[in-house]
A = this chain, B = another copy of it.
Amino acid sequence: MAADARLRTVDEQLEIVLAGLGSIDPIELTLLDAQGLLLAENVSTEVPLPGFDNSAMDGYAVRAVDTRDATPEHPVVLPVVGDVAAGATSRSGMGPGLTMRIMTGAPIPAGADGVIPLEDTDRGVAKVAIRRPVQSGECVRRAGEDLPAGAPALGAGAALGPQQLALLAAIGRDRVIVRPRPRVLVISTGSELIDVGHKPSFGEVTDSNSYLVTAAARDAGADARRIGIVPDDHSKLLDALESQLLRADVLVTTGGVSMGAFDIVKQALSELGTVEFTRIAMQPGKPQGFGHLGDRVPIFCLPGNPVSALVSFEAFVRPAIRKLLGKRNLQRATVQAVALERVDSPAGIRQYRRGVLHREATGGYSVSLVGGAGSHLIASMASSNCLVVIDEEVTEVVAGSRVTVIPLLLANR
């Protein structure tokens, strides 16, 4: 690749990535396993909600007409001929001039057309004094008033949060067809890498990228798994990739995409599929690989520096995971913040700097930079809570001017 070839823009690369994603077949999951996912079917209800006319209050079921003359001073006193509990499975009935004690949610007895709340009575047991007239239909929840039988409940594409899962449960569904979490497998490449829990010898580096990317992929909603470290060895990498291909919807490697003599990722990948290595007009993250293994599984080859890996993940992998999940908004929300210091940026390059976003007392945001431009600075990366984006056409941000910031908000789980 010629050093002076025009670099591809971030937006162009993202377009290529998104166009290169297939879709993952929907799966059927139990309700609680479907939390956070998008529905992949149109769900209608067979049963009405509520399922039967029932009481909205604890009180007494009455015929409204029998209470017409009730006042606080001259209550209407009616005999109580029984109790209706929630969970009553046979329909009660009562004649004119009678009442039944009824719980919230219990079926309205045949013959009654309203409920007088306990508070408006003397709470009598054998007979009850009713202190005001009841309207026909008062405190009655009608069968089907929330959702009639046969009505659509939730459409394909609905995000399943607690309220939506509750509705699916209410209409009796125990399983639903959803778009699954993409299975993302993460590999760190590099002969210098050792795993956590071991003391590095001279020249060894503890692998952190696979933790970074696996956690970031989970945060984005993927079912991500860390495969671990593969040394810079052609056949070992080939074996690792081949053995994981069937279990993956997306593969991510870090390392091995620089221009050095020892890079072996490219060679191994060329035997398993078609992966394009590109230089992107971004900083950090210039060298990137994207393609497919076995003609099916998208693979991202991210740079090996942790900051480059994070920025590349945010720019390309996170939107891809969200697209596979079926989400409409692929990008994180951005905010405008006042830059607290000057930033220079090369023309034609989209620069991503790590920052600390502050909420101002006035309600706006300001942002300071941490960590300089060094993409190996992992401690300063860990102290940042946002990325500051300096667009391609901007070469200078003066202190006090506004910049675009991507807060790296965490999902709760």
Which residues of A pack against B, CB within 8 Å?
A: 3, 31-32, 35-36, 46-47, 49-52, 56, 58, 83, 85-91, 101, 103-107, 118-119, 141, 145-147, 153-154, 159, 161-174, 190-193, 195-216, 218-221, 226, 231-232, 258-262, 304-306, 310, 374, 376-382, 384, 408, 410-413
Contact = CB atoms under 8 A, between A and B. Distances in A.
B413 A169 contact: no
A44 to B, nearest CB: 11
Contacts of A50: 205, 376
Nearest to A101: B261
Contacts of A119: 3
A31 B379 contact: no
Nearest to A206: B172
A58 B286 CA distance: 14
Nearest to A411: B412
Given A35-B218, A104-B304, A208-B167, A87 B261 contact: no
Nearest to A158: B382
Contact of A146 (B104, B207, B378, B408): B378
Given A91-B202, A169-B211, 11 more contacts: A47-B199, A50-B205, A51-B204, A51-B205, A87-B231, A88-B192, A103-B258, A146-B374, A169-B212, A170-B206, A172-B197
A184 to B, nearest CB: 13
B378 A170 contact: yes
Contacts of A258: 58, 103-104
Contacts of A205: 50-51, 86, 105
Contact of A169 (B86, B118, B206): B206
21 contacts: A31-B211, A32-B211, A36-B411, A51-B200, A85-B192, A90-B202, A103-B261, A141-B376, A153-B382, A163-B381, A163-B384, A166-B212, A168-B196, A169-B208, A169-B211, A169-B212, A170-B206, A170-B378, A172-B199, A218-B413, A221-B413
